[in-house]
């Protein structure tokens, strides 16, 4: 088997992450991963689940620390690693990089965590009152960046994440169709 068979895998973490520290202080974590692929059944003319593939993933240093803190049983992840061994129908991988799959959940980074208002219940919007004219002696009311728990505005991250994207509209379209990501 080639020693540098690097492959991307999408699968579900099964069980807990095991973490240990070597005598030299290197952090190592190991977790099991099960990948369920789909295949076309020409007789039934339908897609069906293929036989699951099992992996044992090993991660090192900072990636191991982060995996031990972030991964739990049932989380779908994307793994990029190199096959190091095959034992008992299980592929063993040395993982270079991994991430949480966003296909079934929302993941936040430390910088993008929503505030406590994001979890607060949202009340129904109140009917709009007629706008009062502002004069030089009456400055316009300042709008806070984050909504209060009784506010009916969209979550604060909607406004913050669209800043600097002049062509962005909330419906998921752009002003210029040729500028898609």
pLDDT digits (tens, 9 = 90+) for 98-116: 999 988 888 877 777 777 7
Higher pLDDT, 22 or 167: 22
* Strands 53-60 and 90-100, bridge-based pairing: parallel
Strand partners, 95: 81
Digit-coded pLDDT (tens) for 23-33: 999 999 999 99
Residue 44 included in any domain: yes
**What pLDDT, on a 0 to 100 scale, did the predictor assign at position 96?**
95
* Residue 114 domain-assigned (yes or no): no
Is 74 part of a structural domain of the chain? yes
State both tokens at 101: 């799959």
Confirm whether 163 is domain-assigned.
no
Does residue 166 form part of some domain? no
Question: How many folded domains does the chain comprise?
Answer: 1
Q: Is 157 a domain residue?
A: no
Q: Give the CATH number for residue 67.
A: 2.40.50.140
* Least confident piece of the model among 73-77, 155-159, 172-176: 172-176
Give me the pLDDT at residue 23, please: 94
Say if CB 56 and CB 83 are below 8 A apart.
no
Instruction: Flag whether 112 is in a domain.
Output: no
Q: How far apart are CA 14 and CA 57, in angstroms?
A: 11
Quote the pLDDT of residue 143.
47
Domain containing 94 equals 6-100
Residue 178 lies in a domain: no
């Amino acid at each position: 088997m080639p020693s540098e068979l690097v492959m991307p895998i999408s699968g579900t973490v099964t069980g807990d992450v095991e973490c240990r520290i070597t005598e030299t202080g290197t952090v190592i974590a190991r977790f099991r991963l099960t990948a369920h692929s789909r295949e076309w059944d020409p007789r039934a003319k339908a897609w069906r689940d293929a036989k699951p593939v099992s992996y044992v993933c090993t991660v090192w240093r900072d990636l191991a620390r982060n995996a031990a803190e972030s991964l739990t049983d049932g989380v779908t992840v994307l793994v990029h690693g190199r096959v190091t061994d095959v034992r008992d129908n299980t592929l063993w991988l040395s993982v270079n990089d991994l991430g949480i799959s966003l296909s079934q959940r929302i993941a936040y980074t430390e910088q993008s965590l929503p505030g406590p208002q994001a979890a607060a219940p949202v009340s129904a919007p109140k009917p709009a009152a007629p706008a009062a004219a502002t004069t030089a002696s009456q400055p316009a009311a300042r709008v806070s960046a984050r909504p209060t728990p009784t506010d009916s505005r969209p979550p604060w991250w909607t406004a913050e994440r669209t800043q600097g994207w002049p062509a962005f509209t909330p419906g998921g379209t752009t002003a210029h169709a040729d500028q898609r990501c």
